[in-house]
Amino acid sequence: MWGASALAMGMIATFPGMAFAQEGKTADDLSSHGAAQRIAQTGVSSKAKNVILFIGDGMGDSEITVARDYLKGASGSFDGLDAIGQPDALSADGETGTGQYTTYSLGSNSSNRGVVTPVTDSAASGSGWATGTKTYNNAVSVDVSQNPQMNLIELAKANGLATGNVTTAEIQDATPAVLESHSTQRSCYGPQGKTDGTMNNAAKNCDAAQLKENGGIGSISEQLLDTRADVTIGGGSKYFKQTAQAGEYAGKTLWEQAAARGFQTASNDVDAFSNLSYKKGKPVLALLSDGNMPTQYNMTPALSQKATEARGAVTCSTNSAWLGNKNSSGNSASLADMATKAVDLLSAQVSDKSSNTSGFFLQIEGASIDKQDHAANACGQIGETDDLDKAISATVASLKASGQLDDTLIIVTADHAHTSQIVSDAPAYALSTILKSPVDGSTIVVSYGTATSTDAGADDSSVGYTAGGMEHTGTQLRIAASGPGARRVTGLTDQTDNFYTIAKALGLAADTSEQKALSDSSKVSVTIDDSDKATASVTGFDGDAVLSYSLKDGAGKVVASSETTSRAASIDGVSGVRVRTGQTTPIDLGSVDTGTSYTLTVSGKQSGRTESAAFDASSQDGQVKPGADKSGEDQSGNREVAVASVADQKNAAGLLGSTGSAVMALVTGVAMLAIVAGVVFAARRGMFRR
């Protein structure tokens, strides 16, 4: 018998194309950057100027079908959702691709990391396409070892692209968060946790090591301001009422920080949102609701079999609170409105030649398909799918009108599947809703059967199912694309492959070695103000998300350090200083003693790049750099006492200040005495640089 089986397997192996099957990898083998790719060797056929990624949160095949059957009829099609990936739908000769991708994660939570987990959450799945690295559920763009991984917005900014992040959820929610932050817990919304600022529950919602008061990189909202995407639109405005607990903005609310850092802001104001326009160097932050944005359709709760049959077929009605309704000024904020506003703002930035941006990357999420599926709300999930479809359609029309469609890769997919199913009759074991399509008159029975609560308020407590706790499912998902590079999504891929598809289409640093090289132009300088407070200004660490630093005096004693500052460094990856990609990252070194020599060492935690700058804390006036620096903050009155960059490591003699540099330029033509004189002069001015 065994001989016959072996013979059969041998015969199968001889047929062409039969060697494609392979065994799955272990969690250890899957946990490194890019290790979960299914098509690692596949390139893109052409490059894109822009990429727009549409995410339907919880939008599995069943959710798409439920919405299509109700809104368009069983034989109908969506104008936007079904057009992407369809040959000839957008253009006669445009590139298209459709496929399925796998969504598993590597752990059910932070206490169960590094285990292949068939059902993902939005944080782990979003981290997969945002960074190319598999991780555990609840993790936001960190790996299973809780080390931050470079995400698409950071990499796009490093490559000179404009960036945007749009959602109907709270902007701190998992899917938008993976592009604006790195967090060991998705619940770490702000410096005071997950509150409106009237209390502090950070201890419950954040790992202590990540909090700024413990020397960490800060909460999701704080990091959003550091990431500084050019356009950020969504909900969650109440969390920006929280107050910073430490750092340079201690005591200020997040809204106050945003204003101080040059953001254009709109809070719960559709008219202000509608009036936003591109202004160079002033990114947009528009948060239009306290929490998640109101849904398009009213609630239709799923009921037990008897109650469902007694209620009969229902039709969906528009929610009066939905921001897609025109207000008295004629303005609205549907997902289509937000999407086209983002495209207009980013396109204006690209058109501004002085902005030095060559294209854009934009993520747009229809977030509440998932949230309404969790609530077993059929009409809710249908309305949110419709909202996403209209956003896709409006975006395509906008790109076509501006002549950008052929240069833009559009990808439509989801983060995970969900629980709703279309069945023939309301089952006895689950909650259901019966719908009647207004298009073809068909009866659609939508069933939900993944909740297991025995809540006393359950619709059928004898079976133990309640509305409100439906769960994700682990099935593979549809992914479709149109535009340059679209064919790469064809067939079976993984969520992490989506990162590489986008990165390759835009020419971003995708592999670890490429990302590390982004920090090759790193530079560190130190200034001391009139009160002898030292501040390091760090630039060029674009291959890093987090920096560590150490300041030692001439005797080698550590007087300031990111490591000693942290009182909870058990999670080292999120301890340190959050990099402000493409900007100047300040590091507060505290007070220094006049007449003492110091050496500052700054290291990138992702690249391993290290820069050192030696300086003397002199009481004499030094070089003054007035006005605002790249971070938009006033540096008037500070004297720069040291600079270190990649060039320093190639020049054993070090660098002098502006006067000293002029002296060094004459070295080959002057005597040693002149060199000494120049050095003495520079020393008196306090302008040595190393």
Contacting residues for 212 by C-beta, under 8 A, at least 6 apart: 191, 218, 222, 244, 245, 246, 247
Contacting residues for 408 by C-beta, under 8 A, at least 6 apart: 48, 49, 50, 51, 52, 399, 483, 484
Is residue 57 annotated as involved in ligand binding?
A: yes
The label of the residue with tokens 């809540």 reads 455
Residue type at position 331: N
Kindly state whether residues 338 and 410 are assigned to the same domain: yes
Last residue of a domain, one of 482, 507, 536: 482
Last residue of a domain, one of 482, 502, 534: 482
Apex CA 52: angle with CA 287 and CA 182, to 5°? 60
Query: Which CATH number belongs to the domain containing residue 605 in this structure?
Result: 2.60.40.1930
**Which pLDDT value is given to residue 469?**
85
Structure tokens at 450: 């993944």
Stated pTM of the model = 0.88
Asked whether 174 and 122 are in contact (CB, 8 A), the reply is: yes
Is residue 530 annotated as involved in ligand binding?
A: no
Is residue 365 annotated as involved in ligand binding?
A: yes
Q: What percent of the chain has pLDDT over 90?
A: 79
517-565 pLDDT, tens digit each = 999 999 999 999 999 999 999 999 999 999 999 999 999 999 999 985 5
218-272 pLDDT, tens digit each = 999 999 999 999 999 999 999 999 999 999 999 999 999 999 999 999 999 999 9
302-338 pLDDT, tens digit each = 999 999 999 999 999 999 999 999 999 999 999 999 9
* Residue 257 belongs to some domain of the structure: yes
**Which pLDDT value is given to residue 451?**
78
Is residue 416 annotated as involved in ligand binding?
A: yes
| Phi then psi dihedrals of residue 439, to 5 deg | -95, -60
* Residue 369 belongs to some domain of the structure: yes
Q: What is the mean pLDDT of residues 126-154?
A: 98
Kindly state whether residues 465 and 581 are assigned to the same domain: no
Q: Are strands 96-102 and 491-494 parallel, antiparallel or unpaired?
A: parallel
189-224 pLDDT, tens digit each = 999 999 999 999 999 999 999 999 999 999 999 999
Q: Report the SS3 class of residue 217.
A: coil
Q: Report the SS3 class of residue 674.
A: helix
395-440 pLDDT, tens digit each = 999 999 999 999 999 999 999 999 999 999 999 989 999 999 999 9
**Which pLDDT value is given to residue 622?**
37
**b/e map of 142-164 (b: 16 or more CB within 10 Å)?**
bbbebbbbbbbbbbbbbbebbbb
Q: Are strands 408-414 and 443-448 parallel, antiparallel or unpaired?
A: unpaired
* Residue 354 belongs to some domain of the structure: yes
Kindly state whether residues 224 and 335 are assigned to the same domain: yes
Which member of 31, 105, 122, 566 is catalytic?
122
Q: What is the mean pLDDT of residues 630-649?
A: 50
283: alpha, beta or left? (left if phi > 0; alpha if psi -120 to 50): beta
CA distances from 487 to 130, 266, 479 (A): 20, 39, 11
Mean pLDDT of the chain: 88
Relative orientation angle of helices 378-401 and 335-351, to the nearest 10 degrees: 30
User: Which of 265, 303, 306 has its CA nearest to residue 285?
Assistant: 265
CA distances from 666 to 315, 550, 660 (A): 84, 35, 10
Last residue of a domain, one of 462, 482, 502: 482
Relative orientation angle of helices 672-684 and 658-665, to the nearest 10 degrees: 180
Kindly state whether residues 440 and 531 are assigned to the same domain: no
Q: What is the mean pLDDT of residues 9-26?
A: 65
Kindly state whether residues 464 and 546 are assigned to the same domain: no
Q: Where are the beta strands (DSSP E) in 421-522?
A: 421-423, 431-436, 443-448, 477-482, 491-494
User: Which of 328, 346, 111, 342 has its CA nearest to residue 207?
Assistant: 111
HSE-up of 436 (CA within 13 Å, CB side)? 7
Kindly state whether residues 469 and 600 are assigned to the same domain: no
* Residue 680 belongs to some domain of the structure: no
The whole domain housing 543 covers 518-618
Kindly state whether residues 254 and 386 are assigned to the same domain: yes
Kindly state whether residues 59 and 177 are assigned to the same domain: yes
Is residue 290 annotated as involved in ligand binding?
A: no
Total domains present in the chain? 2
**Which pLDDT value is given to residue 367?**
97
Kindly state whether residues 263 and 169 are assigned to the same domain: yes
**Which pLDDT value is given to residue 639?**
55
Kindly state whether residues 260 and 184 are assigned to the same domain: yes
**b/e map of 244-276 (b: 16 or more CB within 10 Å)?**
bbbbebeeebbbebbeebebbbbbebbeebbeb
Contacting residues for 326 by C-beta, under 8 A, at least 6 apart: 332
CA distances from 364 to 52, 166, 171, 375, 415 (A): 7, 5, 11, 23, 12
* Residue 217 belongs to some domain of the structure: yes
Structure tokens at 487: 């064919």
Kindly state whether residues 463 and 591 are assigned to the same domain: no
Is residue 33 annotated as involved in ligand binding?
A: no
Kindly state whether residues 472 and 531 are assigned to the same domain: no
CA distances from 662 to 615, 624, 643, 678 (A): 20, 17, 16, 9
* Residue 446 belongs to some domain of the structure: yes
Is residue 374 annotated as involved in ligand binding?
A: yes
Query: Which CATH number belongs to the domain containing residue 248 in this structure?
Result: 3.40.720.10
Asked whether 173 and 189 are in contact (CB, 8 A), the reply is: no
* Residue 112 belongs to some domain of the structure: no
Structure tokens at 498: 């989506």
Contacting residues for 397 by C-beta, under 8 A, at least 6 apart: none
Active site residue 420: no
* Residue 183 belongs to some domain of the structure: yes
